[in-house]
Structure 1
Amino acid sequence: MVSLFLKPLNLNFQIAHFTHNLKHHILTRAMSSSSPPSQQCIFQLRLNPLSGDSEWVVIQENDEQQPPKQPLLAATSYLDMLNDSSRNKAFRDAIDKTITKPCHVLDIGAGTGLLSMMAARAMRLGDMTVGSGSKGMVTACESYLPMVKLMRKVLCTNNMERHIRIFNKRSDEVEVGVDVPSLADVLVSEILDSELLGEGLIPTLQHAHEKLLVENPLTVPYRATVFGQLVENTYLRRLHDLYNNESEVLDEIKLVPKGMGNILSVKRRQYAMHCDAITKEVKLLSEPFKIFDFEFWKRPESCRETELCIKAVSDGNVHAVISWWILQLDSEATIFYSTAPNWINIPTIENELVASLPGAQYWCDHWKQCVWFIPKDGLPVHKNHDVYLQATHTATSISYEVKTSPQKMDFEQYGLCTEDCQVFLSPERIAIYGDSSWRCLMLKSIKNAVQHMDDPLCVVADDSIFLAVAVASLSKTSKLITLFPDLRWKGIEYLRSVSDANGFSIDRVEIATIKNLLLTMSNSNQRKIDLLIGEPFYSGIENMLPWQSLRFW
C-alpha cells in the first residue's frame, strides 16, 4: 500500500521555483508525522495480489483509517508532470504570448490549477482589486474531487482564489448562462496521455468548440502532431510473439500449440514505453514520418484514416511502429514540446521545427513513446523499397497496419483470428512466458513439489495460465482448482483448447465459482489442499516502485 499525501503547498508562484518548492513541500510534509490529520487529503494506491490490478483509493479527511507512520511517496503522474520544468516553461511562455489582455479563459482538466494561475497572471488579475472593472476571468473545470480540494488550497496559498472560479464538473457538464456568464475567448488545457488521445482530447474539444468557446478562439496548445518510425527490435518482438519464443524453449509445455498461434496474444493497441531504454538495440528501418495533425483551435473530427508510402532505409523485419507527439503551443510556431525518443533529431523532420525543444535531454516519466506491435515475426522490408502504413484514429486511440503493397490489409496473413478461447495478456507476461530460464525454474519447483504426492489437490491462486497448464501436465493424477480472478471462464476455455497438446484431461480441472475469491472446504469436496501455487508477477504499474508491486500470499 502506497500513500501520497497532498497538503496545502506553500508555493512560490515564480515558475522557476514552483516545481522545486512543490516537490520539497510534498516530500517534507508527506514524510512528517507532525501535521494534523485534518489537513490531509490522502491518495492510496492499492494492489490486488491475485489479479495485479491497482487503483487509487481516496481516504477522506474524516476517515477513521489512519495513515501509516512513515508513508511512501508514490511517483504519481501529477508529481512527474509538475516537476517537468520544460513542460511548465513551454506552457508559461505560450500562455504569456497568447493572453495579452483581460478575457475569459477556460481551463479544462485543471488539476492543481497551474495553468489557471498562469492565465490569471498573464492577465495581471492578481494586481487588480475586486470591482476594478476588469473583464478578465478564469474558469477551471476539474472532475476529480480530491484534486479540486487540493487546487482550492493551492489557489488560496497563492492568493488567487478570487480570480479563478472552480467547477467540480466535467467540461461537458458546464453550461453557459447557468454556470458561466459567457463563452470563453481562450482555451488552456493539458489533457494528453502518451498516445495523445487516450484522455478524451477529441470529444472534449468537440464539446468545448460547440458549447463553451467563441468562434475562432485562442488556444494553448495550438496544435499536436503525431510522428512515427518503423523499427526492428528483438526485445519488442518478445513482448508479443509467444508462439516463436516458445519454439525456442526446450520443455514440453505448449502455451501456444501449433496451429493456434493467436490463442495467447496482446491486444491490438498501442503500449506506452520508455523507448530510450532500448536505443542501442533498435534498428531504424525508416525515417520519421508525420501521421496526424490535431488542431486545438478548431473542432476536430472524431475519426480519420490516412495511408502513407514510406521508403525503407535498411533491410530488416518491421517489429513495431514507434510513435510520439509534438506540441506546438503557440500559433506562430515558436514554442514546442516533444515526447520524441532521444535518437530523433527533431529539427530535421520539418523546417518549422527548427526552434530548439527545451528539455529534450531530461527524463520524462509521465509521457512516454508508444509502441504498436507488428504480429508474429514482423514484416520483411528491403532498403529503398516502399512500405505502406495505414493509420486510423478514433475519438480515443490510434491504430496502424503495415504492409508492402497498397492493397487493403489481408488479416489472414497475420493469422489474426477471433477465437472464442483467445486470451489477452500484457506484453510483460507474454515476454516472461517465453523466457526459457524463467520457465525452467518454475517447472523445476513444481516437479519438486508434486513428485511425492499421490492424487494431489492443487489450487492455482491467480490468473497464471502457465502454472495451470504446467501443474496439469506434470502431475497426471492431480485435481486442479483454478481461481482465475480475472480470466474466469475464459481461462477454462483456454485450458480446454490446449489440453490435448499438453497431455492432460480437462476433467481434472475446474474453476472455483466463489464470491470474493474466498475458497472454502465446500469448494474442494471437503478435501484439504496439497499444493497452493501462484505466480509472483511484476507488471509495469505506473505509480509504484518496482519492489512494491510484488505481492503474493
Structure 2
Amino acid sequence: MSSGSSQRIFQLRLDPLTGNSEWVVVEEFEDAENSPKALLSSTSYLDMLNDSRRNRAFREAIEKTVKNPCHVLDIGAGTGLLSMMAARAMDASDAKEYGSTKGTISACEAYLPMVKLMRKVLRGNDMDKKIRVLHKRSDELKVGADLASHADILVSEILDSELLGEGLIPTLQHAHDMLLVENPRTVPYRATTYGQLVESTFLWKLHDLYNNEAEASDGMHLAPAGLKMIIRVKPQQYAMHCDALSDEIRLLSEPFKIFEFDFWKRPDSNGETELLIKATGDGRVHAIISWWVLQLDSEGSIFYSTAPRWINLPFNTEELQTHFPSELREFDVLLKSAADWCDHWKQCVWFIPGKGMCVSKDEQVHFEAVHNDTSVSYNLKSDDLKIDPGHYDFHTRECQLILSPERIAIYGDREWRFSMSTAIRNALQQKGSSLCVVADDSVFLTVLIAYISKTSQIISMFPGLQEKGTQYLQVVADANGFSMDRVKVYGKKKMYLTMDDTDHKKVDLLIGEPFYYGHEGMLPWQNLRF
C-alpha cells in the first residue's frame, strides 16, 4: 500500500454526549503523519485479540480437543479467531488420518458489524469456505435449520471479569439442551473462581461516603446522619486492575476457592457456598478481591488466569497442597507468565459495608457466596459487621443516588473538598447576593454553594439526575442549613438558559466539576461540555 493510502478498520467509539459505545468503520491512514487519530490500538477488543497468553492457551486446547473431523460450534465467535483455530486443527487431523473426510465448523455471532468483520477476516485467511457464519444469537439456533446436526465440540469465549456477566450460564444451558450432543467436548473445560480477604483504606474510600465525610470536618453533609446510604455504590462486583493497587492492599487470608463452573455439562442457574476462612493477621476486612482460572483442556494441563500478580505462591504452599493439590499447576502457569499484561479482564472487588469487618489472626470468618445467571454476590457474617438502620433506610429509596466508586471517593476526599470550597468562597467573595448556575449533575457543588452562601440563588441543571436530584436536595437541605426556596432545579437537558429562566437576572457564577450522571465510563476530558 502506498504512502498516504488508507484502509477501513473496525473501532470502538464512545459518544461523549450520550455515553453510549458503538463499533464503527473508520478510515485509517497508513501514513502516520496524515492519521488524525490513532485510537484503534487502544480499543478493548483489540487488547483481547492481542493477548498472546490467552490466544496460545486456546490454540493449544483446541488442537488437543479437535483431533478428528467433527462438528464444532463457536458461540460468540467475534472475529472468528477460535473458529479458524478449530479449522486449522481439523485440517491437520484430516490430512494425517482421515483422508478426504470433512468436518463442520459453525460460527455463531449476533452482532451484525462483527459478523461483517468476521466474514472479511475469514476471506483474508482463505477460510470462508471452511467456516459457516450464522448471524444469530445462539439461543435462536435450531438443529435441522441453522445447524445440520448437534455439535460434538463447543468452543466459546463469552467471559467478563466477573465470569458470568456476558450470559455464560444461560448460553451453556441452551447449548446443552438444544445444540450439543450428549457428553460434548468443550474449550474451555472448566472455570473456577477464587477470592481473598483484604484490608485497604483506598478501597474503603471508594464506597463509604458517610464515614469519610466525617473526617473532612467541613460541616457539609452529602450523607447526613440517619441518611448514611442516601449516596452509595451499587452492591456488586467492580472490575479493577488490583495489581495497580498492590501497595494499597494488605492480604488478610489465603486465596480460597468459591465456585466451579463446568462447560462440559449443563450449569445450574443458582448456586451458593459457605466457607470458614482463616484470617492470616489482625486487621479490618474492607473488601473481597476475586478472580477466575480457566482450565481449557479436559486433562488439566492448559490454564489461563486473571489472578493478581501477588498470587505467585506467596501463601502457604504446603496448606494449598493439602486442600487444593490440583490448583498448584494453575498457579505455576500463572507464575511463569506474570509479566503479561491485559486490559480486557481485570480482578473484581466486592466492598464490605461501612468501615469493614475487624478480624484477629487465626479467626474463622464465615463467608457466603451466591450466584444467579449473571452475577455473584458475597457476604461476611460477624457480630462486628452489624448494619445500623441507616444502611437500609427505605423511606429515602426514591431520592437515593447510586454513584460510581470513583465519584464516592472524590466526594469523600478531604483535600478535594477543601480545594472546591476554597475556590467557591473566593468566587463568591464580595458579590453579596449572587445567582449561581451549576451546569452539570454535581450535587456536591449545589449543596456547597447553598451551605457557604446564605443569600445566593442557585440554578442546578442536573441534566442526568433530573427529578431524582431535586428529591435528594429536599432530603438533605435541613442537615446542611439551607432552604429549597433558594434552589431551582431544571432537571432536563437544556442547552442554554434564557433571561426568563433566571427571572431576568444575570448569572454571577457558572460552575461545574464537571460531572454528568450516568457517564462515569467516559474519559475525563470528554466531560468538558459545560
Same fold (TM over 0.5): yes
Match of 1:453 among 431, 446, 453: 431
Match of 1:507 in 2: 485
Q: Structure 1 residue 46 and structure 2 residue 24: aligned? A: no
Deviations 1:212-233 (A, max 9, x none): 1111110000010000011101
Distance 1:518 1:102 in 2: 65
Q: Using the TM superposition, name which of 505-514 and 467-476 deviates more.
A: 505-514
Q: Deviations over 1:323-355 (max 9, x none)?
A: 000001011111111111111136944221333
TM-aligned CA deviation for residue 541 of structure 1:
8.9
Cα distance in 2, alignment partners of residues 547 and 514 from structure 1: 22
Letter aligned with residue 55 of structure 1? N
- Secondary structure of the residue aligned to 1:337 is strand
Query: What is residue 478 of structure 1 aligned with on the other side?
Result: 456
Equivalences for 1:375-524 in 2 at 5 Å? 375-404=353-382, 411-412=387-388, 415-418=391-394, 419-420=396-397, 421-515=399-493, 519-524=497-502
Is the Cα contact below 8 Å between 1:125 and 1:136 reproduced in 2?
no
Q: How does 1:359-374 map to 2 (within 5 A)?
A: 359-374=337-352
The Cα shift of 1:538 comes to 10
Judge conservation of contact 2:161–2:346 (CA < 8 Å) in 1: yes
Distance 1:152 1:294, change over 3 A: same
Q: Which letter maps to 1:71?
A: K
**Length, aligned pairs only:** 507
- Distance in 2 of aligned mates of 1:60 and 1:81: 19
Gapped regions of structure 1 (runs ≥ 5): 1-27, 63-67
SS of 1:351's equivalent in the other structure is: coil
Deviates more, 1:494-503 or 1:133-142: 133-142
Confirm or deny that 1:85 pairs with 2:52.
Answer: yes
Structure 2 residue 213 is matched with structure 1 residue 213 = no
Say if 1:315 and 1:330 are closer, same or farther in 2 by CA, change over 3 A.
Answer: same
Once the 2 structures are TM-superposed, how far is the Cα of residue 58 of structure 1 from its aligned partner? 4.2
Distance 1:445 1:126 in 2: 71
Q: Is the 8 A contact 1:226 1:293 kept in 2?
A: yes
2:20 aligned counterpart, secondary structure: strand
| 3-state secondary structure, aligned to 1:446 | helix
Alignment partner of 1:497: what SS? Answer: helix
Q: Partners of 1:242 and 1:547 in 2: how far apart?
A: 22
Equivalent-residue separation in structure 2 for 1:192 and 1:287 (angstroms): 25
Change in CA separation of 1:283 and 1:40 when aligned onto 2, cut-off 3 Å: closer
Q: 2:246 aligns with which of 279, 283, 294?
A: 279
Deviations 1:96-122 (A, max 9, x none): 001100111111111111101001111
Alpha carbons of 1:143 and 1:517: their partners in 2 closer, same or farther (altered >3 Å)? Answer: farther
Paired position in structure 2 for 1:225: 192
2:22 alignment counterpart: 57
- Residues 292-324 of structure 1: per-residue CA shift (max 9 Å, x gap): 001111111111111111111111111000000
- Deviations along 1:22-76, one digit per CA (max 9) or x if unpaired, are xxxxxx99xx85216xx4545422223xxxx6222344689xxxxx951231522
Q: Does 1:351 align with 2:325?
A: yes
Return closer, same or farther for 1:175/1:548 CA change in 2, 3 Å cut-off.
farther
SS across alignment from 2:121: helix
Q: Secondary structure at the match of 1:308?
A: strand
State the shift of 1:404 in Å. 2.6
* Cα separation, partners in 2 of 1:373 and 1:42, compared to 1, 3 Å: closer
Paired position in structure 2 for 1:24: none
Q: Deviation per CA, 1:498-538, whole angstroms, max 9, x where unpaired?
A: 11111110122222154555544443334433222111359
Equivalent residues in 2 for 1:83-232 (5 A)? Answer: 83-124=50-91, 134-232=101-199
Tell me, yes or no, if the aligned pair for 1:77 and 1:543 is still in contact at 8 Å: no
Q: Pick closer, same or farther for the CA change 1:58–1:292 going to 2, 3 Å.
A: closer
Partner of 1:342: 309
Deviation string 1:440-492 (CA, Å, 9 cap, x unpaired) is: 11111111222233432222111112111111112222222222222221111
Note closer, same or farther for the CA distance 1:521–1:147 as it changes in structure 2 (3 Å cut).
farther
CA distance in 1, matches of 2:423, 2:363: 50
Q: Which residue number in structure 2 is paired with residue 35 of structure 1? A: 6
Change (3 A) 1:305 1:42: closer
C-alpha displacement of 1:280: 2.4
Match of 1:551 in 2: 528
Q: Deviations over 1:246-282 (max 9, x none)?
A: 1111312211212221111111111011111121232
Contact 2:466–2:492 (CA under 8 A) maintained in structure 1: no
2:507 is aligned, of 529, 538, 542, to 529
Contact preservation (8 Å) 1:534, 1:552: no
Identity %: 58
Q: Whole-Å Cα distance in 1 between the matches of residues 58 and 74 of structure 2?
A: 12
- Corresponding position of 2:214: 247
The change in CA–CA distance for 1:514 and 1:434 in structure 2 (over 3 A counts) is closer
Structure 1, 509-518 or 446-455: larger mean CA deviation: 509-518
Instruction: Tell me by how many angstroms 1:201 deviates.
Output: 0.6
Structure 2: which amino acid aligns with 1:340? A
**Considering only aligned residues, what root-mean-square deviation do their CA atoms show, in Å?**
2.8
Instruction: Indicate conservation of the 8 Å contact 2:193/2:292, yes or no.
Output: yes
Q: How big is the shift at 1:410?
A: 6.2
SS at match of 1:248: helix
State the Cα distance separating 1:411 from its structure 2 match: 4.9
1:140–1:165 CA contact under 8 A, matched in 2: yes
Query: Which residue identity does 2:286 align to in structure 1?
Result: H
Change (3 A) 1:484 1:454: same
Question: Is residue 428–residue 539 contact of structure 1 (8 Å, CA) maintained in 2?
Answer: no
AA partner of residue 50 (structure 2): N
**Unaligned runs of at least 5 residues, structure 2:** 28-33
Cα distance between partner residues in 1 of 2:515 and 2:218:
21
Closer, same or farther: CA 279–541 of 1 in aligned 2, 3 Å: farther
The residue aligned with 2:30 is: none
Letter in 2 for 1:290: K
TM-score (norm 2): 0.89
For residue 31 of structure 2, what is the aligned residue in structure 1?
none
Partners of 2:185 and 2:264 within 8 A in 1: yes
Report the Cα distance in structure 2 between the residues aligned to 1:542 and 1:140, rounded to whole angstroms. 34
One-letter identity of the residue aligned with 1:100: K
Q: Which moved more, 1:517-526 or 1:378-387?
A: 517-526
Match of 1:9 in 2: none
Structure 1 residues 261, 47: closer, same or farther in 2, change over 3 A? Answer: same
**Residues 527-536 or 329-338, more deviating:** 527-536
Q: Any conservation in 1 of the 2:441–2:515 contact (CA below 8 Å)?
A: no
